[in-house]
Structure 1
Amino acid sequence: MTVSVGGALDEILHPASADFRSLPDLIGGLMDRLADRTPLRGGALWLQDMGTLVLAQDRAGGRVCWTADGDPNEAAADPEAVVVPITYADAPVGEMRLVLDRAPDGAAPEAPILHDVARQCGYLAKRYEVRRWAERRFGRPLMMVGMSPALRELDAFLEQAAHSALPVLLTGEFGTEKAPLAAAIHGCGPRRDGPFVQVNGADPAGTPADWFARAAGGTLFLSGVDEMTPALQGQIVQHMPSQLGQWLDAPGGWTLSAAGAGSGMSGGMEGPRVIASTTADLRRLAEDGRFSRPLLAELDFLCATVPPLRDRPADIEPLVLAALERHGGRADETRTDELIALCKAHSWPENLFELERVIARLAVMTGGRPIRHGDVRRHAPWMVGGAMPADPGAAAHPAGHAEAAPVVPPASSPADHWVRCALTRDQGALTRLHGGLRKALMFLGERFADPITLDELSRQAHVSPSHLSYLFRTELQTSFKGLLGRIRIHKARELLAADRRLPITEVAMSVGYGDLSHFEKSFRRLVGESPREYRRNLAEPAARG
């Protein structure tokens, strides 16, 4: 059996990522899938803090599986065993000893996938180590969940960045895992026993002098550095030793070693490492004169972007299952295909923060029974978009009842995220866009009910119509008319839900439609049902409650 490394790694990792409760469960599931895709006839895996798993037949003599029961010495003694080390940051943390079938011509099999799997085992072991450390340190078991390619890239970044003393800049939308990643960088590095001081950029307590003093010998985490005032940005610079020689004295008394690390003060205290997070593009803000160029230059050394959930569909299911477990529901009893389909279709504009709130609400309000389409419609109606469950009584099924076929609502689009950004004037997200496109979205969010043409919008954005059209396609993956239509229908749904007696004709006119027929066709295309059906279906769960 031949294995394609690129695709096979995803096939092995993604199904295994749901087995998140413990490291042995996760590694065991991963190795089970490896055994299905490579010519293994025996083997053992040893990992620090976990012990040993052995490849053996199940008791019925059927398929082989990885189990904690068995004799690891059998694989170790086989002279044909392939030894694959498991390392993290160049340090050994485990080992795989695998016995593979030879090819018909007697040649030893080539299995490059084994080294990729070993690397992932090292990353997973470190995630669980950080989880235990964070629970002791912060009282919260912080851990990145999922195995999408984007999250695996963050694992690789963490492995290298943790052992450096250089500043780190983490960029990501509101609600992404920037704070857990910052804590992991601290917890995986040589300063893990030192202080970890987090400062809220929007409402900081104390002064930069206090922050640097409290974080001495550890890490200073500037959370939301883009929200700090210009005065604070200037004060931070006064307390950071310059990695670039922007100033030759030593602000705050810190000095730099030849390697660029803070080597301490006259009193023997080691200077803090600085990690900063931002939801905005700091380079663009600096170009516009809205962020300190000297501070950005000192922060912009080791950089990572935490991707939004809409770009990580493979991570949605393990994140949902982990949230269910955190909030008192057993994932194997409450998870349904309907719930996972709805979660994968949603764009999650507030990312992990929104997912955590929604799943916590569903776990509590459903009382431990399977979470179905009707439950989501009742407790998180914005996720459903008007699609009805196949069985209107699905929400009332007891735990032991067979599941209905999963119902998938009209697919969410990345454009839905920009609809919310335009209507809420989300500066954190909008500042990442081209300046002309940002002005266009703010205008659409405010004047969506007016008759707007591309020419008029381009004048508001101070760019040509052709260039504005290009920006919509390349940065938002939609057209100007497509986004305007989604904004209008989004507002129409809000009006229909807020006032059940408001005539539908008036709703259509309020959001910019002069033709009722055009409004109803647009509504059905984007929502999946007519405005009347949408309003009626909103009322039904309340009537049943």
Structure 2
Amino acid sequence: MICTEAADSEPSRASHRAGVSYLNELAEIRRLLDRSACRHWWEVASLELFGQQPLLVDGAVGRSAPHVPHSVVLALEFSRRPLGELRLQLSPHLFMGPAHESALTELAAQCAGTVQRLASQRWVVQAQWGAPCLIGSSPAMLALDRHIEESCVDARPVALLGTSCNEALQTAAAIHHGGAGAGRTFVKVDCATTLEPPWRWVDRARGGTLFLCNADHGTHADQEHLWLQLEQAMGLSTQLGSHWACRLVVALKAPHLPDPSSSPIPHGAWSQCDWKVITLPPLAQHPEDIPVLVRAVLDYHGHSAEHRMTDALRHWCTNYAWPGNAAQLEWTVARMALLTANTPIGASDISLLSPRLLGDAGPAYTLAEPQAPRYENRETAPPQANLPTVAQPVEHWVRCVLEHDTPAFAQLHAGLARALQYLCKQFHEPISTEQLADQAHVSVSHLRFLFRDSLGLPFKLFLQHVRIAHAQRLLLASPQRRITDVALSVGFSDFSHFQKCFRQIVGQTPGDLRRARALARG
């Protein structure tokens, strides 16, 4: 679970990231004005946000000789809240008509939406919730801005379709940041891995926003049980007073609803709710934003985009047919930046570390690179280009943790090895990603990357596998021991969640496991 009340474990890094994010904001707003179809109507545009220096952008017609100023001032508003003004010094040859006024009003709305979206991205960066991925000025991003603004002034629950990854989290954060709950608690819950019951989620999110990702995870019965519990918790919170109510945003992996008139949550009273449904655009729908996303990933993970970005990296990432979303792009780019030395990421690096980009990138692209890529150390360099990243199955590393086989960790990244050594003794205790990152002496984002890249699972899911594997051993070693005692001893505080995780990982319930062993023994 993620809550904005948590303290920042890396203030200096967060401050640096926030500064980089602000520089990218100015570049994004400038890019939007430069790409505008109205650009040939003005000589200079001045975007003036309250409390900030004006941003000046020259128009396509250039500045003419001195003449009587012919300007227009457009208010920048988002969800009925003023943000500043857009001042345009128009061409003396332009005769304003209704069509011009309508187009300029739409441009001001696009600027306001972009400003608000990028402000929420700065908030996301400071909270260390992954590289900003809601950036760019493509039509897909501008359309998403309109959906976000509508959600900010609408009290209905929101369903985000298409992904449960960072795009969904950051869209939910943008809705929270621009709505009535801004400044209050924002709580993220991963329904696939959480150990807490729904009433605690609602209690933590009171007055703010509750964001659920992977809400469609598990069997139909699991989902029905979850939504029944949440219905009871939300109903109870509403009865206790309006200050307990929270905004609900849900992320679903389905790219669309089977029937546009159907409910995204077909369980209990939720099926009768009036939902605001937003379909998040995949990368394939806005490839023009990919170069900006790549730069944001490099900056967020501490690699200077100004130094590491190359024409080859920009070309291959833009032309690759990404089957997933921005999280896949972030993983790929961050991995290449981590495994290469502090040098520009060129074509030979891409060929060695991410050859799949070259297979689908379209026209051939060459770049003279006399030297092969260099690696920071032997720990991080891959042994061969075509070997899979995960050399051992996850069961191997689970066994190593349970049996304290620390010598096996020597082949892993030093930070990941320290994290697993800590888990050997503490896996049954409550452990946050931030706490484990401190023990591993790496950043939170770096630790998340190491778990996914080297072990093939995110940290929380790997921890579940360790706990369930230990529970299996205890259940079979002590047939008379109560299952609830076993669940508590391995780190589960919610028995129903233990049952669900056990069935998903093992393929049967704890009771079925014991009965099968008893039958096998005769």
TM-score over 0.5 for the alignment? yes
Match of 2:317 in 1: 343
Contact 1:39 1:101 in 2 (8 A): yes
- Which residue identity is paired with 1:273? R
Residue 53 (structure 2) pairs with residue 51 (structure 1): yes
Pick from 235, 239, 247: which aligns with 1:254? 235
1:57-103 alpha-carbon deviations (Å, 9 max, x no partner): 9xxxx9659xxxxxxxxx9x966322222221233212122232233
- Structure 1's 27 and 274: CA in aligned 2 closer, same or farther, altered over 3 A? closer
**Runs of at least 5 residues in structure 2 that lack an aligned partner in the other structure:** 1-19, 375-522
Give 1:147-166 correspondences, 5 Å limit. Answer: 147-166=137-156
- Do the aligned partners of residues 115 and 388 (structure 1) sit closer, same or farther apart at CA in structure 2, a change above 3 Å counting? closer
Question: Does the CA-based 8 Å contact 1:200-1:223 persist in structure 2?
Answer: yes
Paired position in structure 2 for 1:444: none
- Structure 1: gaps (5+ residues): 1-17, 66-74, 242-250, 256-261, 399-545
Q: Distance in 2 between matches of 1:43 and 1:171?
A: 36
Superimposed CA distance per residue, residues 212-243 of structure 1 (whole angstroms, 9 cap, x where no aligned partner): 222222222221111044445334444556xx
Separation in 1, partners of 2:27, 2:235: 46
Q: Distance in 2 between matches of 1:45 and 1:34?
A: 14
RMSD: 4.0
Q: Which has the larger radius of gyration?
A: 1
**CA-to-aligned-CA distance 1:176-204 (integer Å, 9 cap, x gap):** 61111112212221122333222212223
Cα separation, partners in 2 of 1:158 and 1:78, compared to 1, 3 Å: farther
Q: 1:66-145, aligned counterparts within 5 Å? A: 80-103=70-93, 107-108=95-96, 111-112=100-101, 113-137=103-127, 142=132, 144-145=134-135
CA distance in 1, matches of 2:38, 2:220: 57
1:154 aligned partner, one-letter code = L
* TM superposition shift of 1:20: 7.5
CA deviation profile, 1:491-512 (whole Å, cap 9, x unmatched): xxxxxxxxxxxxxxxxxxxxxx
| Alpha-carbon displacement from aligned partner over 1:280-336 (angstroms, at most 9, x marks no partner) | 26855999xx97443652566100111211222112111111112223333233322
| Alignment counterpart, residue 172 of structure 2, candidates 155, 167, 182 | 182
Are 2:331 and 1:331 aligned?
no
Query: By how many angstroms is 1:168 displaced?
Result: 0.8
> 1:358 pairs with 318, 322, 332, which one?
332
CA shift in 2, pair 1:217/1:394, >3 Å: same
Q: Quick one: which of 201, 214, 234 aligns to 1:224?
A: 214
Q: Given the alignment, which residue of 249, 252, 259 partners 1:278?
A: 252
Percentage of identical aligned residues: 29
1:308 — aligned with what? Answer: 282
Name the CA distance, whole Å, in 2 between partners of 1:292 and 1:97.
48
**In structure 2, C-alpha distance between the alignment counterparts of 1:40 and 1:291, rounded to whole Å:** 48
- Name the counterpart of 1:204: 194
Query: Retained in 2: the 8 A contact 1:172–1:278?
Result: yes
* Distance in 2 separating the partners of 1:282 and 1:108: 42
Aligned length, in residue pairs = 348
Counterparts of 1:389 and 1:142 in 2: how far apart (Å)?
Answer: 28
> Aligned residue for 1:369?
343
CA contact (8 A) 1:330 1:368 kept: no
2:38 and 2:185 map into 1 onto residues whose CA distance is 45
> Do the aligned partners of residues 273 and 389 (structure 1) sit closer, same or farther apart at CA in structure 2, a change above 3 Å counting?
closer
Deviations 1:130-149 (A, max 9, x none): 13433455676756112221
Q: Distance in 2 between matches of 1:82 and 1:237?
A: 51
CA distance in 2: counterparts of 1:107 and 1:203, whole angstroms: 60
Q: Tell me, in whole angstroms, the C-alpha distance in 2 between the residues paired with 1:169 and 1:116.
A: 26
